[in-house]
Amino acid sequence: MAQHAAAVDVFRPLDEAEITQKHWLTVITAGMGFFTDAYDLFIIGTVTVLLTPIFHLSTGQISLLNSISLLASVFGALAFGRLMDRLGRKRVYGLEVALLSLGAVLSGLSWSFTSLLIFRIIVGIGVGGDYATSAVITAEYANRRSRGRLVGSVFAMQGLGLVAGPAIASIFLGAGVSDHVAWRVMLALGAIPAISVVYLRRRIKETPRYRLAVEGDLAGAAAAVSWTLDGTAADSAAGANGSARPTAGGPTLSERMARVRPSALRQLTRRPYLLRLIGTAGCWFLLDVAFYGNSVSSPLILKQLEPKGTLLAHTLTSLAIFAIAAFPGYWVAVMLLDKIGRKRIQWQGFLVMAIAFGAIGLIPGVAQDTAPFLVLFAISYFFIEFGPNMTTFVYPSEVYPTAVRGIGDGISAGSGKFGAFLGALLVPHLLKSVGISGVMEIMAVVSVIGVALTLITLPEPMGKTLEDSSQDTAAAGPPLVAAAAAGQPVSVASRA
């Protein structure tokens, strides 16, 4: 019974704790990856403009370079998500940013369209891996009341990368640096922030949730909780004397759990997780069609809006939109995730996006008049960030059981990045065929579907423990571990 109580209570000190230095260390370590992700994914739009006369790029080649990293990130998200569940969070964390760094350096050394395309694929695999790993690790270490703020802060670092891209591009363009040099340095600079956190990511301990729910290591879970809380709690929860460890002889606790844990596919395709997967993956797909379609192609959109404007002027305009509208949106979302909830922020963000895009597309003259276009475009960006761009990242880390949280997050992120790939690939062609008005009308429809999907499919995890919000207590969490640790019989029926 003591072991049973220990298993039930092991996460309580973590769930009810105040935010500690280890929480912020985890956030910074994870967040620097997202700074790099955003920089690398969005700088390519400016780079391809510079490269067009150098590599003699066609519209199709520009679209492919703008989007190939996003397609590769689908594979990265799925692969790293699955590896996290199979091997553990710690064993794979840091490898994704190492890949990202390698791809960034090689991209700067590219000698042709084909070589750059290959190296951007490496970047994309690393980006996808980062999406699948960082949210899960941060959520599994977070406390109950501040989980949204902690996971959201990781993602908000994307806002810095979103601003850094056009800012650095503007510096090079304004300084008159040769285009032949500027594009290489712009791409290679993406390796620096990623390299800076490889060591820190490799040093992070395995999360307590994975230790307990997947490995069956109750003492290890308690030690991870204690590490997070700077050693001030959790020892009594699991028994520092090791009484919660599996007894010698017979199968280990993890072996017992392996016998009864269903496959990831089975678990994600049954209630309530299938509906949640449709929601997290579908909403992320819809959001990224609009967000990346507009963001990666922003130099092309602004060029069509102001044909006589220079690349520097268009880049500075993008910088102003990102800095004034998008960047604050991230942090407003961070402040309110744990106050008004993920679901409300997501559906209202989609709704305002639909209104802004619809106004640009349907009100006569707006798509040709710079001032009203930029105002509405900026409003859409604020509510993208204070809306589904933030929440689609947070949601998948909270609504799936620990044993399949990595692949659930990976499928959702991969779906999002596939939407991003389609948006970045198709928008340059759509701009030529239907113009800015047509593109914005399409994005408005996409956003309306996002509102409906959010309201129908997704629960509200605000204020709940990770086990409650994911219903892990009824599927593959502490009760099953407690039963096995106490030597009680465990069967598939007991998990229904």
Q: Give pairs for 483-487: CB < 8 Å, separation 24+.
A: 483/4, 484/216, 484/253, 484/256, 484/257, 485/3, 485/4, 485/6, 485/7, 485/216, 485/218, 485/244, 485/246, 485/253, 486/1, 486/3, 486/4, 487/247
Kind and range of the H or E run holding 320 = helix 311-321
Query: pTM of whole model > 0.95?
Result: no
Please say if the pLDDT value at position 233 is more than 80. Answer: no
Distance, CA of 431 to CA of 284 (rounded, Å): 23
Rounded to whole angstroms, the Cα distance separating 198 from 210 reads 21
Q: What angle do CA 404, 95, 419 make, to 5 degrees?
A: 60
Return the SS3 of 93.
coil
Given a contact cutoff of 8 angstroms between Cβ atoms, the answer to whether 66 and 45 are in contact is yes
Which range among 80-94, 236-250, 463-477 shows the weakest confidence by mean pLDDT?
236-250
Question: What does DSSP assign to residue 261?
Answer: P
Q: Say if residue 419's pLDDT is above 80.
A: yes
Name the pLDDT band for 22 (thresholds 50, 70, 90).
confident
Q: What angle do CA 146, 334, 89 make, to 5 degrees?
A: 60
Q: Is the peptide bond before 262 cis (omega within 30 degrees of 0)?
A: no
312, 174 in Cβ contact below 8 A? Answer: yes
Comparing CA positions, the residue from 183, 162, 161, 167 lying closest to residue 316 is 167
- Nearest CA among 442, 331, 320 for reference residue 389: 331
In the chain, the domains with their CATH numbers are 2-211+263-471 (1.20.1250.20)
Residue of 447 and 170 predicted with greater confidence: 447
CA 429 to each of CA 46, 64, 423, 439: distance values in angstroms, whole numbers, following the listed order: 17, 11, 10, 10
* pLDDT at residue 496, rounded to an integer: 28
The C-alpha angle 476, 478, 479, rounded to 5 degrees, equals 85
pLDDT exceeds cutoff 90 at 78: yes
Beta strand segments in 50-190, E: none
**pLDDT tens figures, 240-259:** 334 444 433 444 444 444 44
